Chains A and B, each alone.
Chain A
C-alpha cells in the first residue's frame, strides 16, 4: 500500500454533476495538498492544508471545494465543472506545510478527471 492513496483513479462526469475526489495519507504527515496537472502544463498547486487548516488557495475557482476533516484525509468536491477542468488531480502530503512543500513531498497515484 502506498503512503498516499487516492480514489477514484478515473472519473468521468457531466458539467452538471457533483462528485468528490478522496485522498488519504498513512505517513503521519501534517500537511496535505491538491495539485492539478493539465496536458503540456506544469503542475499547479491548488490548495494546501496544514494541521487541517487551509493555508493556501491558489486562486482556484469556487467550483472546486476542498475539505480536510483531519490531517489524514483530504477531499476535493467538484460541482458544475467545465471541460477545461479535465486533468490529472494529484494529492500530496508532507511533514508540514509552511511554507507549502516544506519537507519531503509524497504524492498519490492521481485521479484522472474527464468533464464532458
Chain B
C-alpha cells in the first residue's frame, strides 16, 4: 500500500512564528487531506487538496502531485494552533491512509 511520511515529527515554536509541515507519499494520489487534531482529540478538516494551492486565513497548503508531496504553511502561529497535524491520502481504490503526524507546540 501507499506510504505516507510526515516531517518533522515534532515542532516547537514561539507564538508569531511561521512553520512549514511536509507530507511525502509513495504513489500517485487521488485524494489528499490535511487535518488538525486539537488537544481534546477532535480531527478538524483543514484542506482537501489533491493538487494545487489553497489558502484559508493564516493557513495555506500546496500539493505537487507529480513530485508526491504536500506542504502545509502556518503563518503567525497562535497557541490555538497547537496539536497534531495529519496528512491523509487515497491512491487508486485503496483506503485513506494517514501519516504519523507532526506534533506542533506553540509557546506563548
- A residues with a Cβ closer than 8 A to B are 37, 42-43, 45, 48, 56, 58, 88, 90, 92, 99-110, 112
Contacts and interface: CB of A to CB of B under 8 A. Distances in A.
Q: Which of A42, A92, A108 has the most CB of B within 10 A?
A: A42
B95 A104 contact: no
Nearest to A94: B96
Contacts of A43: 86, 88, 98
Given A42-B100, A101-B88, A106 B45 contact: yes
A99 B41 contact: no
Contact of B96 (A105, A106, A110, A112): A105
A99 B90 contact: yes
B42 interface: yes
Contacts of B31: 101-103
Given A42-B101, A48-B95, 15 more contacts: A42-B98, A43-B88, A45-B96, A90-B41, A92-B43, A99-B93, A99-B94, A99-B95, A100-B95, A101-B95, A103-B31, A106-B45, A107-B42, A107-B45, A110-B42
A24 B45 CA distance: 17
B96 A101 contact: yes
